[in-house]
């Protein structure tokens, strides 16, 4: 707590310095940093204060034979429990980028049309989750499949601790159901891969030689968007040659804007790659997504037939009711992963 208090004081000192607002972009970054720190510090101070109040109530209980102080103590403890749990969850998201926004990419894998449809279902699931939390979303890129669903999509999710909550979603997601695209409605297994990276500030210390280390391609943006996307090559795809990482952005109206966003997305992927090298398990998980199917690393299975079950293979957290999960109610899975990560 003392460290957080010191961090708040240091940020406030920066904000009070002469000329702080001269650089508007830098000022916004500092303000955003303060907001993230306060999101942890303020709940923690409330818990400490509530604990002090409990000690006073305990003293009252020793002197009160009416039982009134005991009832008040029980109510105070009940009210404190969710606050403590919230602080514990915040403590689990203490990484350098956990407090910020996230880029979430979904790619259809093995399973044909069912896999494309499954990818679009996952996209909707994360959009609904973000909506429920009051986060904003922006669809940066999407390629529709031929028959149904999508081949891939990239979604920006913006809100406090968006990346911290979603960082455990990276991996292959497996669906088992009776296929609506099969005339005989036979059971089909299909896969889609999810990749989550942090949205980083423009002044991040990542050096890229854009002329030598990257290859840029432009094309017409697909999907909805009116006449503009059909007449101009505004979509931008950038490949990072040393690593093979690539990104694509088509959401913005101009090629210049799409290029700027694509570069930001690529830098986010490189930052994530650097973070992953410090965690062999996560790095292996990302590498295994080269096979988005039976040979890849499935982190969660969604079974609709012959029984109903959603189960995380890492935490063993499960539920027998998939419908709310697919409607965005995934907090139980996110919390289970965070708690397991703290034990590792």
More confident residue, 172 or 2: 172
Confidence category of residue 279, pLDDT binned at 50, 70, 90:
low
**pLDDT tens digits for range 170-227:** 999 999 999 999 888 899 999 999 999 998 865 566 778 888 888 888 876 665 444 3
Query: What's this model's pTM, rounded to 2 decimal places?
Result: 0.71
Q: What is the pLDDT of residue 228?
A: 40
Confidence category of residue 4, pLDDT binned at 50, 70, 90:
low
Q: What is the pLDDT of residue 282?
A: 53
Angle at 216 between CA 211 and CA 218, to 5 degrees: 145
Q: Is the bond preceding 306 in cis, omega lying within 30 degrees of 0? A: yes
Name the residue ranges covered by the structural domains of the chain: 2-91, 97-344
| Distance separating alpha carbons of residues 80 and 91, to the nearest angstrom | 17
More confident residue, 73 or 27: 73
300, 303, 309, 314 alpha-carbon torsion, rounded to 10° = -20
Residue 58 has pLDDT above 70, yes or no: yes
Q: What is the pLDDT of residue 205?
A: 60
Residue 64 has pLDDT above 70, yes or no: yes
Q: What is the pLDDT of residue 227?
A: 39
Q: Tell me which residue has tokens 């669903």.
A: 149
Among candidate residues 5, 244, 1, 249, the one with its CA nearest the CA of residue 103: 249
Among candidate residues 204, 217, 190, the one with its CA nearest the CA of residue 301: 190
- Alpha helices by DSSP H, the chain: 2-16, 24-63, 68-91, 112-132, 162-166, 227-231, 255-276, 280-288, 322-326, 331-343
Q: What is the pLDDT of residue 114?
A: 95
Q: Give yes or no on whether 2-91 and 97-344 have one common fold.
A: no
Residue 95 has pLDDT above 70, yes or no: yes
More confident residue, 132 or 252: 132
Integer CA distances (angstroms), 238 to 123, 181, 185, 192, 232, in order: 23, 34, 40, 22, 18
Mean predicted confidence (pLDDT) in 129-140:
94
Residue 295 has pLDDT above 60, yes or no: no
Residue 126 has pLDDT above 70, yes or no: yes
Residue 293 has pLDDT above 90, yes or no: no
Q: b/e string for 27-55 if b means 16 or more Cβ within 10 A? A: eeeeeebbebbbebbebbeebeeeeeeee
Among candidate residues 303, 326, 296, the one with its CA nearest the CA of residue 195: 296
Residue 42 has pLDDT above 90, yes or no: no
On whether the 97-344 domain is CATH 2.30.42.10, my answer is no
Mean predicted confidence (pLDDT) in 58-67:
84
Superfamily of domain 2-91: Release factor (1.20.58.410)
């Amino acid at each position: 707590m003392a460290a957080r208090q010191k961090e708040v004081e240091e940020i406030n000192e920066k904000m009070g310095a002469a000329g702080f607002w001269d650089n508007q972009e830098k000022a916004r970054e500092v303000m955003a940093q303060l907001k993230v720190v306060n999101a942890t510090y303020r709940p923690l101070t409330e818990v400490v204060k509530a604990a002090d109040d409990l000690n006073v109530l305990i003293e009252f209980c020793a002197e009160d034979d009416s039982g009134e102080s005991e009832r008040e103590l029980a109510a105070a403890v009940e009210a404190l429990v969710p606050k403590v749990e919230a602080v514990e969850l915040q403590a689990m998201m203490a990484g350098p980028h956990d407090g910020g926004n996230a880029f979430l990419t979904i790619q259809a894998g093995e399973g044909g049309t069912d896999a494309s449809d499954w990818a679009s279902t996952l996209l909707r699931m994360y959009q609904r989750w973000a909506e429920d939390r009051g986060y904003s979303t922006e669809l940066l890129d999407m390629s529709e499949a031929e028959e149904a669903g999508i081949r891939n999509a990239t979604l920006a999710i913006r809100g406090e601790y968006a990346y911290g909550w979603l960082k455990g979603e990276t991996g292959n997601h497996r669906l088992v159901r009776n296929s609506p695209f099969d005339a005989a409605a036979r059971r089909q297994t299909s896969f889609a891969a999810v990749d989550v990276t942090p949205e980083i500030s423009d002044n991040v210390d990542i050096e890229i030689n854009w002329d030598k280390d990257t290859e840029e391609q432009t094309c017409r943006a697909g999907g909805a968007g009116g006449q503009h996307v059909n007449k101009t090559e505004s979509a931008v795809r950038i490949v990072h040659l040393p690593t093979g990482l690539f990104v694509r952005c088509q959401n913005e109206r101009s090629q210049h804007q799409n290029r700027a966003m694509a570069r930001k997305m690529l830098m986010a992927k490189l930052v994530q790659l650097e973070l992953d090298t410090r965690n062999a398990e996560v790095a292996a998980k990302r590498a295994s997504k080269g096979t988005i199917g039976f040979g890849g690393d499935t982190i969660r299975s969604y079974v609709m037939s012959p029984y109903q079950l959603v189960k995380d293979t890492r935490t063993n957290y499960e539920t027998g009711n998939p419908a709310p999960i697919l409607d965005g109610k995934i907090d139980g899975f996110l919390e289970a992963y965070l708690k397991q990560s703290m034990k590792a």
